């Protein structure tokens, strides 16, 4: 028997929605969450695809996350939107606030969306690509739980603190990157643990602060930032931008609020949108050509642009209308659905 199972794309979405609804999420939340899970799975982003259903279910079973909360969207200023998730998963609030963010960015040149009081589990690239699909450049960032040690430290203080950026390209898939400021995303370490595989060197430390390649020891110790002090400084910036700046929690405060429960981190998120038309004085076409020359120079050297592999996987999976996932994951998800 193969270690993998093949699902049609409609089965991927149906599996996600049925797991969520059977565990207490209403149709609106299940749809918003499944949109992102499906999009990640389509691009072979396994650590943020169907696997993340476990965290969603754990969050609602903890008794703190709401599967039925209606987000409150506020027009907070000429270039500011606030979205209170009211203790729901972030994605319904993000989806509800995105049209107003886009409208404000096109009117003012720049705009910001602050999402507060949300549980968050997802990758950020799908939401910044919503902005690039509207012709805007976009950034998104947020904290998580204090799983990551600062450069030179020996215990968790910072979150994995992802940062995403997307740039619109005329007639082409956008230039997008999305990475944790830790060496690995937390979900990647969990996938290594589930597979019984050793981690690469330099990714994590154990509970005593010693380097480790054991995923289980890493889960009980702390992860490390990429680039040493540079990644650590960037992670601290994200703590501030998506924490005190928008009146929400840092990673350490989020972890304390969880009280040891296995739920998604509870905090805020900031999304920034930029209008190339207004900021360039209407010279979008000329500057798009300059950006394309920059991308062409990268590719000419034999390098690849961020997200090219993921975007190719999306096209491939869409064309064949199916994808593969580990059989063990599929069976665990079916149990989750029954639970």
Write out the catalytic residue numbers: 47-48, 188
Strands 163-169 and 266-274: unpaired
Positive or negative torsion for Cα 11, 162, 121, 200:
positive
Q: In the block, which residue shows the tokens 């039925």? A: 68
Question: Could you tell me how far CA 326 lies from the centroid of its own chain?
Answer: 22
Hey, what are 95's tokens? 């989806």
Cα gap 191→119, rounded to integer Å: 21
Cα gap 221→203, rounded to integer Å: 11
Residue 207 DSSP one-character state: T
Number of residues that make up the chain: 339
Cα gap 237→79, rounded to integer Å: 22
Of 53, 63, 61, the C-alpha closest to 33 is: 53
Hey, what are 125's tokens? 């690239």
């Amino acid at each position: 028997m193969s270690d993998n199972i093949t699902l049609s794309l409609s089965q991927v979405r149906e599996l996600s929605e049925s797991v969520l609804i059977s565990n207490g999420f209403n149709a609106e939340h299940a749809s918003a969450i499944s949109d992102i899970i499906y999009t990640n799975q389509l691009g072979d982003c396994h650590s943020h695809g169907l696997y993340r259903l476990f965290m969603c279910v754990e969050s609602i079973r903890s008794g703190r996350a709401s599967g039925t909360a209606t987000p409150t969207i506020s027009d907070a200023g000429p270039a500011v939107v606030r979205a209170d998730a009211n203790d729901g998963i972030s994605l319904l609030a993000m989806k509800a606030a995105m049209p107003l963010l886009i409208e404000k960015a096109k009117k003012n040149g720049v705009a910001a969306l602050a999402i507060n009081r949300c549980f968050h589990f997802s990758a950020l690239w799908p939401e910044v690509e919503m902005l690039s699909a509207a012709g805007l450049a976009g950034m998104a960032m947020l904290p998580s739980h204090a799983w990551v040690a600062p450069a030179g430290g020996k215990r968790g203080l910072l979150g994995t603190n992802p940062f995403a950026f997307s740039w619109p390209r005329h007639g082409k898939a956008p230039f997008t990157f999305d990475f944790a400021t830790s060496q690995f995303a937390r979900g990647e370490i969990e996938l290594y643990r589930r597979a019984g595989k050793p981690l690469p060197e330099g990714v994590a430390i154990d509970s005593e602060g010693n380097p480790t390649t054991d995923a289980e020891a890493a889960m009980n110790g702390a992860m490390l930032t990429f680039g040493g002090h540079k990644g650590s400084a960037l992670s601290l910036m994200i703590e501030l931008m998506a924490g005190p700046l928008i009146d929400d929690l840092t990673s350490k405060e989020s972890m304390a609020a969880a009280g040891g429960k296995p739920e998604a981190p509870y905090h805020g998120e900031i999304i920034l949108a930029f209008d190339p038309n207004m900021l360039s004085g209407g010279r979008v076409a000329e500057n798009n050509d300059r950006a394309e020359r920059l991308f062409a120079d990268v590719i000419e050297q034999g390098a690849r642009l961020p997200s090219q592999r993921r975007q190719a996987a999306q096209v491939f999976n869409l064309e064949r209308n199916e994808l593969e996932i580990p059989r063990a994951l599929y069976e665990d998800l079916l149990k989750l659905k029954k639970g």
